[in-house]
Chain A
Amino acid sequence: MNTERITEKLNILADAAKYDVSCASSGSKRKNENKGLGNASNGICHSYTEDGRCVSLLKILLTNHCIYDCAYCVSRKSNDIKRAAFTVQEVVDLTINFYRRNYIEGLFLSSGIFKDVDYTMERLVLIAKKLRTENNFNGYIHLKSIPGASDELMREAGLYADRLSVNLEMPTEEGLKLLAPDKNRQDMINPMQFLKNEIIQRTEEKKLFKKAPLFAPAGQSTQVIIGATPENDQQVLQSANYFYQNFNLKRVYYSGYVPVLADKRLPGLNTAVPMVRENRLYQADWLMRFYGFNVNEIVNNQQPLLDLDIDPKLSWAIRNMHSFPIDINKADLQLILRVPGIGMLSAQKIVSARKFGNLNWEQLKKIGVAINRAKYFITCKSNEFERRDLSGTSIKQFILAESKSKYLKNVPAQLSFF
């Protein structure tokens, strides 16, 4: 092995892949039944980068040669950068050796498009196939589907990969047209549609025949870049909601645009990465998927933007003071989940614990409720007189005054890049 050459390739091709934010390694159910190597079930973050993102998979491009010229992408054709390409065997060896040392949960493989779409997709599938069939590898494999790849290749990919994803890149078609003139939104939607149908069909088969092969057991996901084009949060979340509803996506990832290229269609190179906005979008995404919120409750024509200084749940609550306060000892789980400062686990604990007797503030605190936020929206067993006549705006002021936002500290750090 030529260590120097492989190190250089790894550096180039990991660097080029890092803007793809998907890192999930969970949701699969691949077992190690053949006394082989690895399994894929519970997600594990093996390390964290200095920017605090999880490192779960060996995330690389097969090559950063690309025939496309998308404005937001470092690997675009017209960008003058070092190019490299792995051989199939090199990717296999790296994956296996990293996995055996417990560095990673598996492989996340994407690629620039060389020659043509199917030729590229074929190489990606070949690597997955080699890992599964020649190396008895049962670890997690996430393959990027190249937009426009043939159904036949997509089907084969699904047989070897745990998760497949097609990046929508921009939240709307207009955004995509502006920045990626070579790409066509329909080319991204077609494979999603194909995968959705295939996954449903295979799941049915699996119910009937236990031995039916796994097909993309961790489902499909997608990614949109935010802050590169002018879409507002309402458009971003509406679009995410549409794809959750219609394509059974497991995840939509929001990637704050990191200015890497000078282009008059893009934000300037000195623009800060919209990290707070990205965080708020993920919080809103969680509210839609786990907390029973409808997308229109979070963003709508009156409220097209997410608050940056407070999280979307608190923001919703202070706009809807007529729904509060709720009695923690009587209210349904669904309502308790809507209280700012109460998470999924605390809500479940409350519902279990109150069967033994009404809960007071002290007990709620021990259970894990953030009382400083929740106290404005709930009542519980208490002898003290508690005011409940505050307006939404004053509650917001109170909460902001006593909490040190973790983002306020970040502001100077961001400014220093200017």
Chain B
Amino acid sequence: MTILFYDGTFEGLLSAVFEIYERKLMQVKLQKGEWYNSALFAEVLKITTSEVNANRVLKGLRQRLSPAAVQRLYIAHMAEMENEEITLIGYIRYVFDTPKNIEDDYGNKYVIRLSEIIRMVRREKHRMEAFVRFKKLKDETYYATIEPDFNVLPLLIKHFKNRYADQKWIIYDIKRNYGLYYNLHDTQYMVLDFSTMNKPGDIIAAFTEDEGIYQHLWKNYFNSVNIPARKNTRLHVRHIPKRYWRHLTEKI
């Protein structure tokens, strides 16, 4: 067993694949983070991310997979799910060790696991498209905070840019501390320094006057459309799990 440490980037992951084939490694485990020498019975190898090596692996993947399948690998990695490197490495090795395209071989454990990961990421992305609640700031920017289970902010760009083309907006992932800003022309990533911001009162003061009114109207609307005779809390919570509630205006 060899433990490979890499920097957590997609290039790093592909560089690790390169090393696996270069050194003809059999049993491997890929871990994100700094090299440390605590593994007693395992070899340890630090992967240096190399654009050249990564590109060679990527080229090979592109020859053996459809563009959509390569994209799925990239998305699955970006989601930053814990301990799924083993799936990605297993999948990529299966691609290179099989003469034909294996992306539809759902009987294979890596292929089916990748499709599960993608389904989870897509669902989270879709939830964010639904559950983002913008609040209007005095400078006419619409601001929303999110805490998605997986890192899906980059996947949201297209949807929100197409939809809200005529308003400035920010969607901020407070769990991963970075956000997306649209300035009426382009989107860019941003980091806010919350330590310089003051009391909660200042934040409320930053909203436009009608913001409170529309929040109030929305909450009223949400209550009015409920049919008490059909109450079904289990179904309700399955659709909106409680961890999302604190960002939903109507559930606060």
Contact = CB atoms under 8 A, between A and B. Distances in A.
Q: Which of B107, B115, B210 has the most CB of A within 10 A?
A: B107
Interface string B65-102: 00000000000000000000000000000000000001
B163 A14 contact: no
Interface of B is mostly: helix
Interface residues of A, number: 62
Nearest to A351: B104
Interface stretch (A42-50, A204-212, A297-305, A331-339): A42-50
Interface stretch (B26-34, B175-183, B197-205, B235-243): B235-243
B94 to A, nearest CB: 11
B108 interface: yes
Interface in B10-63: none
Contact of B105 (A32, A48, A353): A353
6 contacts: A38-B164, A47-B240, A51-B227, A55-B225, A101-B142, A353-B104
A32 B163 contact: yes
B132 A102 contact: yes
Contacts of A7: 216-217, 220
Given A101-B134, A352-B106, A35 B166 contact: yes
B130 interface: yes
A10 B164 CA distance: 25
Interface of B: 102, 104-109, 112, 115, 126, 129-136, 142, 144, 162-167, 210, 213-214, 216-218, 220-236, 238-240, 248-250
Contacts of A388: none
What 7 A-B pairs come out closest when comparing CB atoms? Answer: A52-B235, A51-B230, A353-B106, A352-B104, A14-B224, A48-B239, A356-B105
Contacts of B210: 1, 97
Interface stretch (A192-200, A216-224, A359-367, A393-401): A359-367
Contacts of B163: 32, 38-39
Given A18-B224, A94-B217, A103-B218, 15 more contacts: A18-B227, A31-B162, A39-B163, A48-B240, A50-B226, A98-B214, A98-B217, A100-B134, A102-B134, A258-B230, A349-B106, A355-B105, A357-B107, A367-B106, A410-B232
A143 interface: no
Contacts of A290: none
A14 B217 CA distance: 11
A87 B217 CA distance: 16
Contacts of B107: 353-354, 356-357, 359, 363, 367
Contacts of A37: 164-167
A49 B230 CA distance: 10
A408 interface: no
A413 interface: yes
A283 to B, nearest CB: 15
Interface string A26-38: 0000011001111
Contacts of A1: 210, 213
Nearest to A355: B104
Given A10-B217, A101-B136, A51 B239 contact: no
B130 to A, nearest CB: 5
Contacts of B231: 50-51, 413
